[in-house]
Amino acid sequence: MRTRLAVLLACVLSLTAASAPAEATRPAVALGSVVPAPVEVRPHGSAFQLTERTVIAAPRSARAVAERLAEALRPATGYRLPVVDRARGGTPVISLASGREEARLGAEGYRLRVRRSEVTLRANSNAGLFAGVQTLLQLLPPAIDAATPQRNRWTVPGGEIVDYPRFAYRGAMLDLARHFHTPAEIKRYIDEISRFKVNHLHLHLSDDQGWRIQIDSWPRLTTVGGAPGTGVDGAGGGYLTKADYRELVRYAAGRYVTIVPEIDMPGHVNAAQVAYPELTCDGVAPPPRTDTAVGYSSLCIGKEVTYRFVEDVIRELAAMTPGPYLHIGGDEAHATTDDEYLTFQERVLPLVARYGKIAYGWNEIAQAPAARRAVAQYWGLTTENATLAAAVAGGTKVIMSPANRAYLDMKYDPATPLGLNWAGYIEVRTAYDWDPGTYLTGVPESAVLGVEAPLWSETLRDLDDIEFMAFPRLAAIAELGWSPARDWASFRTRLGAYGPRWEQRGVGFYRSPQIDWAG
């Protein structure tokens, strides 16, 4: 209902704009009203009008990004903008160029110049061009995200933006184990996170309740562990086939998102043990579990079959994952002694490297000397963690996901109908107001690869639930990962102005009372 009203309003507004020539070139959006905030913004000169005469020019190497831009502009404008190698003189053009541009733009930065006659986007790579395209889309009026043609003036404010990320790793995580989410839902999530220049999607593929990824050498993992009824409280079930997974990898790559698969071990393995009782120490299958308790299951550290299983899984997972990281969980191994945990990690962390991947795990892995070459994901509640700081001194890299800041499954406040609250309540400002580079004592910015916003799905069944918990907080974490400075007042204003874009796309975000939402 609210969405329909908003569309109606947008139509009325756009009709007014269309019939008021004096307003014709005044852009609806200020240059720099972009999330995440760009590094440098210099408004000047006159605005660019996107019309049906506009062409998109791009070298062959950047064709895919140009096509994606043309696709994104089509539904709301109704224009079929041609993608050409070079525009003829006098034609209004959006031109994309990638090559050896300024060094400071790095692998993902871009320079966007908007003048009356043309928009130029330059980058060192297609990833940079894609990031620039996301900025350009936000500089058009929010109606650009409508699914059907709108009468509007498609004005882009004049000026220049130079932009590049603070951290190389900007991630989101989705838990497919507690409630399975379909490939279509995952794709929709990829679409949404990539708009905020998030470049990694971590998939939590196994847990006590269910196993969600096909492994050929252990087929019962999915036929039993992914069977109907393996979601929390007996809901749903399901798993990704290898074909599904490869398709997701391909889809994500087209949006410059790298998939990071996680198999959680040695704890959180009840579903695997139901399917293969030899993975328990006594060889007896445990009962299936669809409650949300944690920390009770463990692989049998002293049995060789454990390591055959782990190696098979890592080998098959590595073979279908082009990205550099493979996450092996490692959290809440409360059913494993400290010695056993070390024994396990000293064997398993090097295995990941043997299959060509960088081992990534929850921060508990920092106890193991082999974690020196690994990446630890910090999910604690405090700003001190001596074990992690010691590992960092030895070379471990860190991705920051403090649970009381970055967990998207925490309730916003006590009235939030979904989510958990064990790490506290996380309103938008709490998610935004911390610095990943200085947060943890003994973990300097140089050791921080970036940030990740995990979304655990004990209470989340479908895409509506996911969107309500992820947005707007994911935008806050994305800005911490990308932008050089943190400015709540500015973020709050830009986020409020962003709301109508989610509305246009039918994303059911949480209307935090901390934000003055436009529209």
Smallest gap from residue 422 Cβ to ligand NGO (A): 6
Q: Does 233 bind ligand NGO (CB under 6 A)?
A: no
Smallest gap from residue 455 Cβ to ligand NGO (A): 9
Among 169, 456, 498, 509, binds ligand NGO (CB under 6 A): 456
Q: Which is nearer to ligand NGO, 155 or 401 (CB)?
A: 401
Among 211, 379, 471, 491, binds ligand NGO (CB under 6 A): 379
* Residue partners of 227: CB distance under 8 A and separation at least 6: 237
Smallest gap from residue 211 Cβ to ligand NGO (A): 15
Separation of alpha carbons 350 and 348, rounded Å: 6
β partners of residue 265: 329
Q: Which is nearer to ligand NGO, 217 or 382 (CB)?
A: 382
Residues 251-310 that bind ligand NGO (CB under 6 A): 294
- β-pairing, 159-163 with 40-43? antiparallel
Smallest gap from residue 471 Cβ to ligand NGO (A): 18
Catalytic hit among 67, 118, 332, 340: 332
Among 182, 420, 492, 506, binds ligand NGO (CB under 6 A): 420
* Residue partners of 339: CB distance under 8 A and separation at least 6: none
Smallest gap from residue 181 Cβ to ligand NGO (A): 14
Please say if 278 is a catalytic residue: no
Among 48, 164, 256, 362, binds ligand NGO (CB under 6 A): 362
Three-state secondary-structure class, residue 90: coil
Among 409, 427, 465, 467, binds ligand NGO (CB under 6 A): 409
Q: Which is nearer to ligand NGO, 331 or 479 (CB)?
A: 331
* Residue partners of 89: CB distance under 8 A and separation at least 6: none
Q: How many residues of this chain interact with ligand NGO, rule: CB under 6 A? A: 10
In this chain, which residue has its C-beta nearest to ligand NGO? Answer: 456
Separation of alpha carbons 213 and 386, rounded Å: 35
Asked whether 150 and 142 are in contact (CB, 8 A), the reply is no
Q: Which is nearer to ligand NGO, 174 or 352 (CB)?
A: 174
β partners of residue 47: none
Separation of alpha carbons 516 and 519, rounded Å: 10
Three-state secondary-structure class, residue 94: strand
Q: Computed from CA positions of residues 308, 315, 354, 360, in that sequence, does the dihedral angle turn out positive or negative?
A: negative
β partners of residue 400: 378, 451
Q: Which is nearer to ligand NGO, 264 or 467 (CB)?
A: 264
Residues 388-407 that bind ligand NGO (CB under 6 A): 407
3-state secondary structure 308-372: HHHHHHHHHHHHCCCCCEEEEECCCCCCCCHHHHHHHHHHHHHHHHHCCCEEEEEHHHHHCHHHH
Q: Which is nearer to ligand NGO, 54 or 273 (CB)?
A: 273
Q: Which is nearer to ligand NGO, 256 or 379 (CB)?
A: 379
Smallest gap from residue 456 Cβ to ligand NGO (A): 4
Tokens of 278: 């030899």
Site string for ligand NGO, 308-347 (x = CB under 6 A): -----------------------xx---------------
Q: Is 20 exposed, middle or buried (0-12, 13-18, 19+ CB in 10 A)?
A: exposed
Give catalytic residue positions. Answer: 332
- Contact residues toward ligand NGO (CB under 6 A) are 294, 331-332, 362, 379, 407, 409, 420, 456, 458
